[in-house]
Structure 1
């Protein structure tokens, strides 16, 4: 091999190999930011506020428990897990069945079926700025999901989780309303925080236009309380 060819190969390796290693530093290839394993459970403290015009906001607090049930094959023949959801107002009450969803890992996608609709909650390997269509299995219009703060710590109710991923499905605020859908996942734990905000602002009176006065809507915040395996 001539000296000229050797120099060319070294230059190519430096240009492509060096840049790739620097870019990949923020990529997390692990497949366990949403662990899928029978018996895993997570309990959330949920704070819900409902807004209606000319009435005080109505606040509700309760606890929600999600437990991953036994595996089964879905209609496509893919392995999936039932997600058993329970709810109660306080610790001295028994858990009451709330709903049954499902979760599955297909190739590099974590898919949750919620109320009969599939959503791609996370895409692996995760990296800052990674974008995908969370609605690609639905007939809805595409929904742009974006991964942010990959590998960064996140605190919930005084507890710090060292390595997390924030997924933003929507974060819009205009003169007529606000919509926010954000999930945070912790390494080897799963979802630790969720916010759902759907607000409609008053627009039919000159005195309220542009002042973010809430006409109606709802805000829900989920914070992890505990987790484990049964």
Structure 2
């Protein structure tokens, strides 16, 4: 079954945070083979991806939308602070397609035999685990302090499926994709009548990330919890952020 996501109908948001990266080491310097699933995030110097971004911030029930573009470019292959090899990714931002790109932040990606690790804003996360297998779970925050070491908060929701996204009247289709999402237990633990948090990423084989959506909503102020005005409703978000990114261009410099 083809899963379709209309960019225009999705809630935008989650303002980006620019940061300077402190590189962290990975545990294994070998590069996994394509059969493991590493080709869902190709690492090659000069490769770039451009995303259309829909962004919304809520404050005191007021909604402020914005839109812009991100470009992520693999600029060079380098060693991190521990001497382990990886790739530097520079993210740039512009509001209009006619604007000049302005560097926004830097990331570092390393692929081991078992996982793909991303360091951004001084925090390292486990983005993918190898080999790829539907319903496989892992701890995205195994290398940072956000969760306990034993937590299982991320899983492969779909593997090997066709995916379509839309932007500006154009449809972008991919034959082989996988989707990572919060585990059901993690969703249940974080989502209730007052709070909602979701984070989904779609990767296309031979391309990389093609769709990303992160939403964090608080539906009412602390003093209103338990009253009739406090309840889950996308039209009544007290405070929150949401951001949706759709890949619209890729290539090699």
TM bin, normalised by shorter chain, reads 0.7 to 0.9
Q: Say which of 127, 142, 146 aligns to 1:140.
A: 146
Q: Distance in 1 between matches of 2:217 and 2:232?
A: 13
- Partner SS for 1:77: coil
Q: Give the strand-richer structure, 1 or 2.
A: 1
Matched, 1:184 2:169: no
Moved more, 209-218 or 158-167: 209-218
Among 243, 246, 251, the alignment partner of 1:223 is: 246
Superposed, 1:1-230 pairs within 5 Å as 29-55=36-62, 57-141=63-147, 142=151, 144-157=153-166, 158-169=171-182, 171=187, 172-202=190-220, 204-205=223-224, 206-212=227-233, 213-230=236-253
Structure 2 CA distance for aligned equivalents of residues 176 and 211 of structure 1: 6
Gaps of 5+ in 2: 1-34
TM-score by length of 2: 0.76
User: Contact conserved, 1:135 with 1:143, CA < 8 A, in 2?
Assistant: no
Once residues 232 and 71 of structure 2 are traced to their aligned partners in structure 1, the CA distance between those partners, rounded to angstroms, is 38
More relative contact order, 1 or 2 (CA 8 Å, 6+ apart): 2
Determine if contact 1:127/1:148 at 8 Å carries over to the other structure.
Answer: no
Looking at CA atoms only, which structure, 1 or 2, has the larger radius of gyration? 1
3-state DSSP of counterpart to 1:32: helix
CA contact (8 A) 2:61 2:237 kept: no
**Cα distance, 1:85 vs. partner?**
0.5
TM-score by length of 1: 0.83
- Unaligned runs of 5+ residues in structure 1 are 1-27
Query: C-alpha separation between the residues in 2 aligned to 1:179 and 1:161?
Result: 27
Within 2, Cα distance between the matches of 1:93 and 1:117? 30
Deviation sequence 1:143-197 (CA, Å, 0-9, x none): 5110021000111111111110100036453111110111110001000000110
2-structure distance, mates of 1:211, 1:103: 37
**Matched-pair contact (CA < 8 Å) for 1:149–1:165:** yes
Q: Distance in 1 between matches of 2:175 and 2:163?
A: 7
